[in-house]
Amino acid sequence: PQEKKNKIAEWLFSQEVDAQGNPKGIGLSMWRFNIGAGSTEQGVDSKITNEWRRSESFYSEGVWDWKKQEGQQFFLQAAKKYGVPYTLGFLNSSPVQMTKNGLAIGSGKLGEWNFNPEKINEWTDFLYRVSARFKFNYLSPFNEPQWDWGPGKNGKASQEGSPINNTDLAWAVRKLAGQFESKGLKTSIVIPEAGQIDYLYQKNSNRKNVQQDNQIETFFSPKSPHYVGDLKSVEKLVCGHSYFTTSPESLLVKKRNDLHTEAEQYQLGYWQSEYCILGENAGEIKGGGVDLGMKTALYVANVIHADLVTAHASSWSWWLSVSANDFKDGLIYLFNQDQKGEKDANKYDADLFDSKLLWAMGNFSRFIRPNMQRIEVNIDQEKCKISGFRDKKKVVLVLVNQGESFKAEIPEVKTNKKIDSYVTSEIMNLAYQPVNSEKIQVPKQSIVTLVYHIK
């Protein structure tokens, strides 16, 4: 229903506050749009069992239909209406009429790109037209190239996807950049959307033999045969996904230090472009089972902190905004009479549930805005992580207190203007709290954002 779609959009995109000063939404500054490959049109023949995981395509055998992907288009337009500054289009698979097997899933062989190279001009034209029509700021043409994305033993697959090796990826990016530049398109290409951050910097990983690791050096060292760093349309950064690298804390920190060391060597930025909770995470938290409460919110806030501070990420994205799954993958959930899952009961209408994770993400996204700079914060307190950001008008500190005890902090920031505080805890959802600057309070198991107005 329209009113529920509008509510979801407000929660995700709004930067307005209510009469008490509480944010109405988390003010995302980037929205990612999946450019579908056409498995929906194939139905069961797509070999993707779950229809929720199939997607429509704007293009089929020479015919364009811009009415496709209606739901995605609604939220893309809503993001723009709310003033979300950046949009990004991404592919999991090339359109099915351009793939080797005529499907949106891989062969099951690692590194084997499911693409017919004779269709390269059609592919670059497709991506040019879609990017130009929706005015995407960024385009990510490949997603998690390290996984095989093939069928299981039953011959069926779970979603659209294709692997690709570094040689093919560089070749395709050169062709795509050439198309964008010849047409004067301003959309920037971002790569390689690594399935795990290790593959960005590790040189002898379990993907070496299929040419899918060491991606920073491969694509951005001028000495590499696969160098694309000189292409005007290619953004000077790498993006990767934080999955499977977040527990325990020592691993979380080490892998991000290693990533930053390598990226810095080539003067590259880093984006953490997809994450939700998968797997067992060293026993700390499991992906399975919805949790609308603080445990998940605090775990993810700790990951965001590490990605921003240790990996030096300048963008951070979550997968997914809305979920019907009994899984820790949504900011907002929709269930009909507690029927969890991607099923008919939840297809056309369901009850909406916001999560503590939604508001915890807002502690970052609503206040750390594009073009802010991260600053050093010299306060070291165990169990309370602090990151700092500033522009000409304000300083923003985000404090993550995973501990069981109440904290009192006095971060020194020279200001004679007011300080605003926004708290997400067991009893508050990004709630505005006026601050007595003598003593700034951080409740137990909470995320607190402090905004110091300096002009």
Cα–Cα distance, 87 to 11 (Å, whole number)? 17
**Domain 2-373: which CATH number of 3.40.50.620, 3.20.20.80, 3.30.43.10, 3.40.50.300:** 3.20.20.80
Whole-number pLDDT of residue 410: 60
> Measuring CA to CA, which residue among 140, 135, 92 is closest to residue 114?
92
pLDDT band at 348 (very low <50, low <70, confident <90, very high): confident
299: Cβ–Cβ under 8 A, 6 or more apart, which residues?
246, 277, 281, 284, 285
* Pair 317, 324: CB distance under 8 Å: no
Over the range 86-123, which residues count as b (16 or more CB within 10 Å of their CB) and which as e? Answer: ebbbbbbbbbbbbbbeebbbbbeebbbbbbbeebbebb
Instruction: Give this prediction's pTM.
Output: 0.97
Q: State mean pLDDT over 357-375.
A: 99
pLDDT band at 136 (very low <50, low <70, confident <90, very high): very high
Q: State mean pLDDT over 254-271.
A: 99
* Pair 31, 82: CB distance under 8 Å: no
* Pair 211, 166: CB distance under 8 Å: yes
Q: Please, which residues bridge with residue 449 across strands? A: 398, 422
- Tell me the CATH class for 384-453: mainly beta
When comparing pLDDT for 208 and 407, which is higher? Answer: 208
Q: Which of 171-175, 340-344, 366-370 has the weakest average pLDDT? A: 340-344
* Pair 330, 322: CB distance under 8 Å: yes
Whole-number pLDDT of residue 126: 98
pLDDT reading at 437 higher than 70: no
Name the segment(s) of the chain with CATH classification 3.20.20.80. 2-373
Q: State mean pLDDT over 23-34.
A: 99
What percentage of the chain carries pLDDT values higher than 70? 97
Whole-number pLDDT of residue 455: 72
SS3 content of the chain, % helix, strand, coil (to 5): 30, 25, 45
Q: Which of 101-110, 147-156, 377-386 has the weakest average pLDDT? A: 377-386
Q: State mean pLDDT over 267-280.
A: 98
Highest-scoring range by mean pLDDT, 172-181, 340-349, 395-404: 172-181
171: Cβ–Cβ under 8 A, 6 or more apart, which residues?
none
For residue 163, give Cα distances in angstroms to 117, 176, 304. 15, 18, 27
Q: State mean pLDDT over 306-311.
A: 98
Q: State mean pLDDT over 360-384.
A: 90
Average pLDDT, the chain: 96
pLDDT reading at 411 higher than 70: no
Helices (H) and strands (E) in the chain, counts: 10, 20
pLDDT digits (tens, 9 = 90+) for 55-90: 999 998 889 999 999 999 999 999 999 999 999 999
pLDDT band at 10 (very low <50, low <70, confident <90, very high): very high
Strand 188-194, strand 138-140: pairing:
parallel
Name the segment(s) of the chain with CATH classification 2.60.40.1180. 384-453
Q: State mean pLDDT over 118-137.
A: 99
φ and ψ of 315, to 5 deg? -155, 145
Q: State mean pLDDT over 431-455.
A: 87
When comparing pLDDT for 442 and 235, which is higher? Answer: 235
